[in-house]
Structure 1
Amino acid sequence: MKIDKRHLLNYSILLPYLILSVLGLIMVYSTTSATLIQYGANPFLSVINQGAFWVVSLLVILFIYKLKLNFLKNSKVLTLVMLVEIFMLIYARLFTESVNGAHGWIVIWKLSFQPAEYLKIIMVWFLAFTFARKQKMIATYDYQALTRRRWWPRNWGDLRDWRVYFLVFTGLVAIQPDLGNAAIIVLTGLIMFSLSGVAYRWFSAILATVTALSTALLGTIALVGVEKMAKIPIFGYVAKRFSAFFNPFNDLQESGHQLANSYYAMSNGGWFGMGLGNSIEKRGYLPEAQTDFVFSIVIEELGLIGAGLILALVFFLILRIMNVGLKSKDPFNSMIALGVGGMMLMQVFVNIGGISGLIPSTGVTFPFLSQGGNSLLVLSAAVGFVLNIDASEKRDDILREAEAELQSKVESYDNKIIKFNDFQ
């Protein structure tokens, strides 16, 4: 019995993705056109570039949707992908020029790649692969099943010790420095760890440790002073962001400029906004408004009500993705879907936290709305994985039901033959 996966497409995930992607193109045009016109460039230049990445993203979703999931469970394929990623991260850090204080971009001709963006979905894949293979051990040994092996793995190709790889990759992202994506990777890893089957006490202990360390770090910076902390290698780049976090209005010309103008934008928007395209802050007051501060412009133009509806759509998409993970019977499929939902949720949290001053600004884009081809491509690939998983799980359920029904009919037929023979 052959079932075509195209008939099992989950439109409750695909349609929100398409709507958010189109809204993203609209916001890219809204936030960039005025500046491009000011410099005498084509006002559609940015939206054309973003649109090109979206077309590629749709092709990526189609390709991933047709993949057999067993391909993702191949340790050799995953090992190769991770080796390529680690090479890209090292190359970006050592041999590329700094962009906004970070060495996170690899430029090939007119295309630029951000390895840290791709690492987010690779880590979800890796952790799902690792935790899914240890489900029986986790059920027996709990947390010890994930820590009982040696700290350093015997065989790099076997992916046995997840802690080494997780720390190495997170560290490589942090030294770019790209603390935003590093934070998303760590938080996503924490979510996947807590959903792997370990007892809740371990999750609570780790969450308490992370919270305590974060509080201690912020307290130390507040006591010592940002200026002194800026002398520490690598930390100099993020020092200004911490300074703005404590009080953006202390330095409106430098460190606090973006965050303060983000507040102004949200204040201008009120409940109903100034109207699409009518933002004041995007006209040179809020630098790079089309990237990590795009949601401030969304609030300014569409108001809290319009922005709230968009945020609700994003959360609806995340919940539908997580629902696929909760319903999946295969541990690997479940961990992938839950990891993707967790990754998107953490990206929203870090972005909204940054523009509102809840946490230090990290330069993380808002999912689907911000300009950024790499971010859109990664999110689209993640959606493609979930759509594939959902269709595969549905197909397996149909086949199981058909097999059970067939078995029931065979047994019924056999019983009738037995009764007939007994009658004779």
Structure 2
Amino acid sequence: MATIRKKHRAPVSVFQRDPGPWSRLLIDWLATLAVIMIFGLVMLFSASYTTGYLRMGDSFHYIKQQALCMMLGLGCMFLMSYVDHRFLRKMVVPGYIIVLAMLAVTLTMAPLNGCRRWIRFGGLTLQSSEVAKFEMILFSSHLAAKAPQVERLDPERRILLTPREWLRVRVWKQLVVPVLPLIPVVILLAMEPHMSGIVLTVAVVGTILLLSGSGGVLTWAGAITAGALLETLLSHVDSIPYLQKRLDGWTQDLSKMTDQTVQSLYAIGSGGLKGLGLGNSVEKQLWLPESTNDFIFSVVCEELGFIGAVLIIVLFVLFIVQGLLIAYKAENLYCTMVGIGIMAQIAWQVFCNIAVVTNTLPNTGISLPFFSSGGTSLILLLAEMGVMVNIGRNGERVAQQREQMRAQREAARAEREAELARKTIDLASARAARTEQ
């Protein structure tokens, strides 16, 4: 009687003693990150010392908080760089349940400016939407990597899916299943309300699905349609007063713009090519609201000018491209999609923040990564950077193992060819000797 053996998976430990060697690409990526973080600290201090003194009685109030959160974040980054990515994948479902619970608890907190976005305990605050973004990267990457892939047609092996099978794979497995966990998160964020959190979370999950090939042409068609109809959809949003006010202020008429946008454009225009000089911003003297957070890029433009603004954009582009290359060289599809999701989050935040301060998009309240003040965001961003380090080191380890196996195969093939050549020579010599006899 045949017996069925169950496939036992090797136990997954939480930490790895040695995730793998450090590649040159990973070191360069970390160097770029260090430059961005130092740049961000300098600009935050420049943008915040007036506000800190006038509001808190301490010019160093914001920079001290940011430096402390950065130290905590670097600790989390170091810790997460040794957390096995297989363990993170194993914990995506429990993590998702915890995130839903956190978002639900957030709704019970006292409102601030009409919104409930923070969990408060012991004098500390935690923005649950930041945790939700990280969890959705892990969960969506897991579902996208787990979905069956439709093999490409080739002359030797033609695989034609029936319409029913195509719908099951392309629509259900690759689109509906990965998107379903996003719906409760979006509903809870809408109840806070937190529209910028919804925009970022949906954009990141959509990027993961697009670049994983999930849904094929359906996903691309949906993304293009959503982009084309974005302005039309936003123009019909009138259920949330503060959101409608921001949308009404999204115009080219200075007299109808929101005060934040007007002051932001003044700051950008005042900077010119070279800027007014570090620390010489006028708009940060309580003219520009949220100069330490959402509109810090306006202060950068005013103090460092067009040259400084372009330098920051180039740094972020370099950082994102290096991160995508690390993700491309990852150990497996899941790690690749996690890396893409993390880099997509930073890319979308940078794009939306700069688009808002230049009035390209309506005011969404999205911070500039590593520049804007905000403890939860900075700590979680650095924790995600730790995940990237783990993915990069594991990917380099696997790449070196593959290279060693390839070298061994090449050496074995060369040895076989040499042995065959030696036997051929011996056979030819024997025939020649027999002919001479």
TM (normalized to structure 1)? 0.85
Determine if the alignment matches structure 1 residue 84 to structure 2 residue 98: yes
Determine if the alignment matches structure 1 residue 35 to structure 2 residue 51: yes
Mapping of residues 57-68 of structure 1, within 5 Å: 57-68=73-84
Determine if the alignment matches structure 1 residue 240 to structure 2 residue 245: yes
Closer, same or farther: CA 401–305 of 1 in aligned 2, 3 Å: same
RMSD over aligned Cα, in angstroms? 2.8
Greater alpha carbon shift after TM alignment, 273-282 vs 200-209: 200-209
Mapping of residues 110-259 of structure 1, within 5 Å: 110-136=123-149, 144-148=168-172, 161-198=177-214, 201-220=217-236, 229=238, 232=239, 235-246=240-251, 249-250=254-255, 256-259=258-261
Instruction: Give the match for residue 155 of structure 1.
Output: none
Structure 1: give runs of 5+ residues left out of the alignment. Answer: 152-159, 222-228
Instruction: Give the match for residue 381 of structure 2.
Output: 379
Mapping of residues 345-424 of structure 1, within 5 Å: 345-409=347-411
- Residues 127-183 of structure 1 show CA distances to partners (whole Å, capped at 9, x for unaligned) of 1101111143576766742533699xxxxxxxx932221111122222211111211
Instruction: Give the match for residue 34 of structure 2.
Output: 18
Structure 2: give runs of 5+ residues left out of the alignment. Answer: 1-16, 153-160, 428-437
Greater alpha carbon shift after TM alignment, 402-411 vs 305-314: 402-411
Which of residues 262, 272, 286 in structure 2 aligns to 1:284? 286
1:194 counterpart letter in structure 2: L
1:217 deviation in Å?
2.2
Instruction: Give the match for residue 120 of structure 2.
Output: 107
Greater alpha carbon shift after TM alignment, 376-385 vs 281-290: 376-385
Separation of aligned partners in 2, 1:280 and 1:164: 48
**What secondary structure does 1:26 align onto?**
helix
* Structure (1/2) with the larger helix percentage: 1
Greater alpha carbon shift after TM alignment, 177-186 vs 64-73: 64-73
Which of residues 261, 278, 290 in structure 1 aligns to 2:263? 261
Closer, same or farther: CA 248–62 of 1 in aligned 2, 3 Å: farther
Separation of aligned partners in 2, 1:62 and 1:45: 26
Instruction: Give the match for residue 68 of structure 2.
Output: 52
Contact 1:3–1:395 (Cα < 8 Å) also in 2: no
Separation of aligned partners in 2, 1:368 and 1:65: 19
Closer, same or farther: CA 355–57 of 1 in aligned 2, 3 Å: same
**What secondary structure does 1:107 align onto?**
strand
**What secondary structure does 1:112 align onto?**
strand
Greater alpha carbon shift after TM alignment, 82-91 vs 3-12: 3-12
Query: Who wins on radius of gyration, i.e. which is larger?
Result: 2
What percent of counterpart residues are identical? Answer: 25
**What secondary structure does 2:180 align onto?**
helix
**What secondary structure does 1:378 align onto?**
helix
